[in-house]
Structure 1
Amino acid sequence: MVESEYGPWSFRLATSRMSRRGFVAAAGMTAAAMMLGGVLAGCSASGEGSSGNGAGAAASGDIDYTDWDAVLAAAKGQTVSWYGWGGDEARNTWINTVLAPALKDKYDITLDLVGMDINDILTQLSGEMQAGVTEGSIDFIWINGENFYSCKDNGYLWGPFTGYLPNFNDYIDAESPEVAYDFGSPTEGFECPYGKAQMQMWYNSDIVDAPPTTVEEFKAFCQAHPGQVTYPEPGDFTGTAFISCLIAGVIGKDEFEKLSSMDAPTEEGVLAIVEPGLDYLRELSPYLWKEGATFPADASTVATMYADGELVLNMGYGAPQDLVNTGQLPESTRSFILNTGTVGNSNFMAVAANAPHKAAALVAINEVVSPEMQLSIYENLDNISVLDMAKLPESESAAFAEVPLGSTQIPLDELLDHRIAEAAGPVIPILEKLWLERVAQG
């Protein structure tokens, strides 16, 4: 499900995959960013056909990318490669059985899905760029966060390109913070979003009569179930996201979302915003598992403890419907969110600066964000759509509302009405440090 920092197409399993975002592995994201920062420092791309080329994109060929008919004509008959994390079989199946046939039937484009760890993808991309390969092996990439920032900063991505996409222009709110920023980094048209995930909690309704809906009720819930509630130690993506939800519940959505636009945060500046939330977490700890003296290392450990009945509550990006369907969790499992909201994130697609099939990449990306494909993603992978429902024709927006939901799934409009933007990438390590010092050691 979620991938590195924050999630793939399907965010439903509360396993170790819950620590993955887009397809950047949480541990690997920083390492890959550091690799790019060190290996690519001083050897940025020349900028031709990459960062800032805008309407001059035709420099990479004779295509006028502002003419969509010309793009379609150029893309016809091409094979386009999509590189990304390959560990989600449900996502892979959807791409190969729904998206790929549609691209072939509608545009005569063959889609080559290449599943690979993000570190390996970036190594391949940087190696080809440093070698001066003008037509590389990668067309478009599932990339997020610090890896996106490093690649864009070094001129390894092509764009801006989102303005060329009819579906982006027609159905996506380009001014939305979740579109304009990726983990606090301005996207500036170099990424197109394709799916959203949002933090949810779940419980066994045979054991718990009613879940908490506010942070005050959550504290009372923990007091009523001493030692049966915990969360992964922040540093694990799910743990950091979960404390973000509770902190936001204490300080308010608007105050918390100040963290999403910080590009050069200081510890003092972050503390000034989140201190009341940290105080709340410290007060909560005595009622948690092992009285808050220690916390599980990762989301998969919490998931196991919950499945074994040691805990009465679990959390993750998305609903655990597939775990219920496969019998790994009881049918009485239900999901909930706090009335004060829960944090969410978006996943993105970017085009390599030396992509050999840029026209086909544009057509494929445009198809992914079509109303038809976004609806199919929602139906099959439980991903929140990146489309602005207010921009859709009424019949198409109604189709999203009419999708049958499983017993653990929360309606789309309810999730979106309670959605909080995540903290920016540079804020995360500061927030985790403050938690360690003021909650775990407090």
Structure 2
Amino acid sequence: MQLSATGYRLSTTSYRLPADRLHPGRGDFVMLSNVKMHGRLLIGLTLLLPFLMQCASTASTPAENRTETESAAITVEEMAPEGAEPPPDYEDQQWADIIAEARGQTVNWYMWGGQDNINNWINGFVADTLKAEYDITLNQVPLVDTVEAVNKVLGEVEAGVDADGSVDMIWINGENFHTLRQADLLYGPFSQFLPNSTYVNWDDPSVNTDLGFPVDYYESPWGKARMVIAYDTAKLAEPPTTIDSLVEWVKANPGKFTYPAPPDFTGTAFITHFCYQATGGHEQFTLEFDAQRFEEQFPACWDILNEIEPFLWREGQTYPESHARQQNLFANGEVYFDMAFNPAEASSMVSAGRFPETTRTFVFDSGTLANTHYVAIPVNSPHKAAAMVLANFLLSPEAQFSKADVENWGDFAAIEVARLPEEWQAQFDALPVGVATLPNEILDENRLPELPATWRIPMEKGWEENVLKQ
């Protein structure tokens, strides 16, 4: 395993092509099993060039203005998927035209900034590669809560800032996607046109819907997640793997358990498991909110959460205000459990020396929530081209592989690895699994859908009124 120029692990078989043979749409790292494969690739490119140049000469698009060198660099790999409609304002254009427009732009990416390894990966590998390959400057704007970016977009549009907004891209969650989409403040559809979107399984309901709301290509996926619960085997040999057994454990071990207070994302996700069990399962919760059903069924959820509250950390008088605070409590040994939506997060924390080496993770026997995380582009972004190039790069095998490495981040791939060339599949298969990370066969079982956004907000308000304030 080697380090890239940015210091992030890529692979043992990465080759950097000469400058005159770069692939502008995919990056300049090409997986080759040997020199013979390299030769076949170059021969294939040579045979393909006359066809591509003929197509370029007959097309009537802004791409005609590309230099001869740029035209020769085009490969099928950087082209939009066959039949994909160009995004708004780019009708009759090619992906190469979007790249050309993006060069020299700065993309302001508003995103949650609460985890150092994620920030380091964004400002290192992603920013450096984006600059080197596309001359795009990445400016990460870290947030405590994604709603800060949503409010900025809402405020700017209300003030008449329709084309020169501050936000070019958002790492967005389901609730905020729903808010901006309902207000018609997201640019799109665009993600169907990204060349690397061919690696995405758009038929997967966990990809084509976000908190029950159709994505419709107004978001681009860049990672997947599954909630796991971390514990220290030095303090707890066998964790409680059902809701009922966890309730009994909490009552038998006062002060050693808590969870982040909703509307913290992790806290809301965690209590959703209790509410699913108390109300009879997730299948009944459709996108359309049913106020009568909510009033009839959710009190059973408040009852369970109130039952354990006196036995929580600080007797349930206060809750951790964030996932980061929950992590600190576990790291310091004040509580015996942490919970996270990244199955590899505990391993990353062990590697960083923050969590004990005896940390392991588990999921409930009945399943835990699984989701996809996305990026979206506000309608008033002034640098939509750069944002789309960034979204496409995040879906590239290079970025997804680097992101999946626990030494960089450990985030699960948003792409379907089986769709990649065999060389890349082998690289993903060879990635080391962290000491606290569950095997894929366990993580792929009993994946529960998230509560639709239309139910999520009432649940958060209901928790505040019926649990926190009681």
TM-score exceeds 0.5:
yes
Which protein is bigger by CA-based radius of gyration?
2
The structure-2 alpha-carbon separation of the partners of 1:141 and 1:64, relative to structure 1 and needing over 3 Å to count, comes to farther
* CA drift at 1:79: 4.1
Match of 2:183 in 1: 154
Cα distance in 2 between the residues matched to 1:87 and 1:281: 27
Identity %: 33
Letter in 2 for 1:344: A
* CA drift at 1:181: 2.7
Cα distance in 1 between the residues matched to 2:175 and 2:316: 32
Deviations 1:192-240 (A, max 9, x none): 1212333221222112111122334434534553553333444444333
When the two structures are aligned, how many residues end up with a matched partner?
A: 379
Letter in 2 for 1:103: L
TM-score under structure 2 length normalisation: 0.68
Letter in 2 for 1:312: Y
**Mapping of 1:108-127 within 5 angstroms?**
108-117=134-143, 118=146, 121-122=149-150, 124-126=152-154
Equivalent of residue 246 in structure 2, options 218, 240, 245 = 218
**Mapping of 1:77-96 within 5 angstroms?**
77-96=104-123
SS of aligned partner of 1:384: coil
SS of aligned partner of 1:343: strand
Match of 1:49 in 2: none
Cα distance in 2 between the residues matched to 1:331 and 1:73: 48
The structure-2 alpha-carbon separation of the partners of 1:55 and 1:414, relative to structure 1 and needing over 3 Å to count, comes to same
Cα distance in 2 between the residues matched to 1:206 and 1:126: 49
Letter in 1 for 2:430: E
* CA drift at 1:352: 2.8
Equivalent of residue 341 in structure 2, options 317, 320, 325 = 317
**Mapping of 1:106-255 within 5 angstroms?**
106=133, 108-117=134-143, 118=146, 121-122=149-150, 124-126=152-154, 129=157, 130-131=159-160, 133-168=162-197, 170-222=198-250, 224-248=252-276, 255=281
Asked if 2 retains the 8 angstrom alpha-carbon contact of 1:82 and 1:140, the reply is yes
Match of 1:21 in 2: none
SS of aligned partner of 1:102: helix
Gaps of 5+ in 1: 1-53
Q: Could you say which structure has the greater relative contact order, defined with CA pairs below 8 angstroms and 6 or more residues apart?
A: 1
The structure-2 alpha-carbon separation of the partners of 1:297 and 1:394, relative to structure 1 and needing over 3 Å to count, comes to same
Match of 1:46 in 2: none
**Mapping of 1:11-410 within 5 angstroms?**
55=85, 57=87, 60=89, 64-65=92-93, 67-106=94-133, 108-117=134-143, 118=146, 121-122=149-150, 124-126=152-154, 129=157, 130-131=159-160, 133-168=162-197, 170-222=198-250, 224-248=252-276, 255-259=281-285, 261-266=286-291, 268-270=292-294, 280-281=304-305, 288-289=311-312, 294=317, 296-299=319-322, 302-318=326-342, 319-379=345-405, 380-410=408-438
Q: Which moved more, 1:116-125 or 1:205-214?
A: 116-125
Cα distance in 2 between the residues matched to 1:80 and 1:437: 40
